[in-house]
Homo-oligomer: A and B are copies of this chain.
């Protein structure tokens, strides 16, 4: 039986899961791919401290630069993440004639074009299923099943940390800080959660998905990003009263004025499929004129789910190593990002309870052509929360108005502004 020889860089949770899968599932993988999927070498800078790397049949090293040059390796699996030195090793692996499988969303969201250009020159594959939403087959699906489709809208719940925090707040009437603490205790959030809760992680994933869906190069910097740190239990309670729930959505829409690319918390109908995505789950909801609305939901992170996605890419290479490599973009058209967008907004102002406050806020909104659909004020000690639901308003006008309102002395915290989204209702 022929072999496919694997070099692994990074033996963290995912790498360890991959090693375990390759070993415990060896027989079924032989049957399904017709090849022996064999780990030849593992590079990890703390390899000496990792007991599971001891007494293995593969070489263990801290020299990843050497690993990518070895002549006896067919596929390099990159699982260290980050831009540097991952990019160099991935490029070197491709240049020296190896296939690459990676879970590195930052790398692809920022240097995808360059990496796939090299892959094309080398005639080698770059497997990236694991870079977005773990074992959920979102990448393969965009490329393969929906090859002839024309996706108009994508709505992703692409960050399990945020979704866990948001659904805990929603269900248990919990403050953001308390829900974050539980997420950290359960291992769903890092000690420094900024990368996740700011929405940046989701934005990197959205850049990859929208590049593939729209065949235009979308980079992280093209995406407008707002995080979840300002959400309060009142926002969830008000959403529920409106028959809605809050989710951190990664949104990509094709429109006549260009592409709308955003990551932000939004209110969606509690009857929408995306509202059923709870806890640490991820999901991708797509809408296109041929396939209709479709959603894939499940674990978007974690050792084994991500390792399973890596393994799927390895197995595809094993079955057909001489395949025409997948492309990143089939054209080189430049991306037109829409300058502005119109939404209904949920606004929560934190103000002193004085005569004239509402009048002042209303006047600024009205000056910016923002019309109020409803208003709600909670009784309580100062400062009080005032919730306003607007009719459709331009984002530019809305944020212009908020700049003025937030500067008012009576306004005691930055105003929370949440968009109302209706996925699939365009």
* A residues adjacent to B (C-beta < 8 A): 17, 21-22, 25, 28-29, 31-34, 129, 134-137, 140-141, 144-150, 215, 273, 276, 289-299, 302, 304-305, 307-309, 311-312, 315-316, 319-320, 323-324, 327, 330-331
In whole angstroms, what is the CA distance A225 to B3 when docked? 43
Taking a contact as CB atoms under 8 Å apart, the answer to whether B289 and A304 are in contact is: yes
Interface of A is mostly: mixed
In whole angstroms, what is the CA distance A25 to B315 when docked? 30
Task: Report the minimal beta-carbon distance from A277 to chain B, rounded to whole angstroms.
Answer: 8
Beyond A29-B147, A137-B144, 8 additional pairs, beta carbon < 8 A? A25-B148, A32-B215, A33-B147, A137-B137, A148-B311, A290-B304, A291-B304, A294-B299
The 5 listed contacts between A and B (C-beta, < 8 Å) are: A22-B148, A28-B330, A291-B308, A295-B295, A320-B323
Taking a contact as CB atoms under 8 Å apart, the answer to whether B289 and A294 are in contact is: no
Interfacial chain B residues near A29, Cβ < 8 Å: 147-148
How many copies altogether? 2
In whole angstroms, what is the CA distance A333 to B215 when docked? 44
Taking a contact as CB atoms under 8 Å apart, the answer to whether A144 and B316 are in contact is: yes
Q: Which partner residue on chain B sits nearest A290 by CB separation?
A: B304
Taking a contact as CB atoms under 8 Å apart, the answer to whether B273 and A290 are in contact is: no
In whole angstroms, what is the CA distance A137 to B141 when docked? 7
Interfacial chain B residues near A291, Cβ < 8 Å: 134-135, 298-299, 304-305, 308
Taking a contact as CB atoms under 8 Å apart, the answer to whether B323 and A146 are in contact is: no
